[in-house]
Amino acid sequence: MPGTFEYALCYIVENKIDLSGFDAWYNNDKTGAAAYPPSVMLKIILLGYAHGVISSRRITHWRTNVSNCKNLLA
């Protein structure tokens, strides 16, 4: 929804930040499971930090329980 922090975060990550430097690591079709796009990872981390969740384990737990993250992945 325009005017929210989540909307601003999505807009900035998708339109203002150049994440092309991560493309080589993201496209790892040869080994391992499919990777999350760098933009999605950055949105989740920044949203967690903005809400005071700074531990990666807590972000993982928090992400699965907060509906705001579902909007970020769209």
The pLDDT of residue 2 is: 81
The pLDDT of residue 53 is: 85
Summarize the confidence of residues 44-56 as an average pLDDT.
86
Summarize the confidence of residues 12-21 as an average pLDDT.
90
Q: Write the DSSP symbol of residue 34.
A: P
Is residue 53 a contact partner of residue 59, using CB atoms and an 8 Å limit?
yes
How many CA atoms within 13 Å lie on the side-chain side of 74?
Answer: 8
The alpha helices in the chain, defined as continuous H runs, are 5-15, 23-26, 38-50, 56-65, 67-73
The pLDDT of residue 66 is: 55
The pLDDT of residue 72 is: 58
- Record the pTM: 0.71
Indicate the residue type of 7.
Y
Is residue 9 a contact partner of residue 47, using CB atoms and an 8 Å limit?
yes
